[in-house]
Amino acid sequence: TGGLIGVSVKEVVRYGVARGLFSNEAGMGSTPHAHAVAKVKHPAEQGLVAIVGVFIDTFVVLNITAFVILTTGALDGQTTGIALTQKAFSLGMGNIGNYFVAITLLFFAFSTIIGWYFFGEANALYLFGKKALRPYQLLVLGFILYGTTQEVPLVWELADLFNGLMVIPNLIGLLGLMTTAKAILEDYESSQKLSHSQDKAMV
């Protein structure tokens, strides 16, 4: 019994972490590409924006979906994934719920492809220069076509594999930059305290 519970907990954690990466990409090293081009007064400000993004993605959006599933009674132990979400929204909103989820999923998928292409292109340019653009573009198109013709479980397994390959080196880099990040945050906090004290002195 203990072994069964242990395996069950392990699978729950593994599945949760794997799907959590798809919702907010925390620790993967993908969103810094987008945050790096933002114009802010202090780098810590953009770091805080990134943290808020993870919170909204994971806590707000995913909890809303979970509450819809639980409150509509769609959870039957058989339906899973996007079919479960569509069922829940259709129970709560009628037929429009199906279309709402389908259209939302379309935009999420399309924007994900565009975003990941941009991130990958930036990496290819940085590492190999312009000569790598054409091979990279062909590789992206190849993976898109391959993904659309394969079974969903296989696509998820491949996505989990490649996500893991991204997370491991990025976490090593984060550990190495931990001291730098702490120094930047402390500098930001001290500058904020100085700004507040100056404002009070002027009043």
What would the pLDDT profile of 37-80 be if each residue is shown by its tens digit? 888 889 899 988 888 888 887 788 888 888 988 898 888 878 88
What would the pLDDT profile of 165-183 be if each residue is shown by its tens digit? 888 888 898 899 999 999 9
User: What residue type is assigned to position 177 of the chain?
Assistant: L
Q: Which residues contact 33 (CB under 8 A, 6 or more apart)?
A: 118, 119, 122, 123
Domain positions in the chain: 2-198
Taking each helix axis from N to C terminus, what angle separates 95-128 and 81-93, rounded to the nearest 10 degrees?
A: 140
pTM of the entire predicted model:
0.71
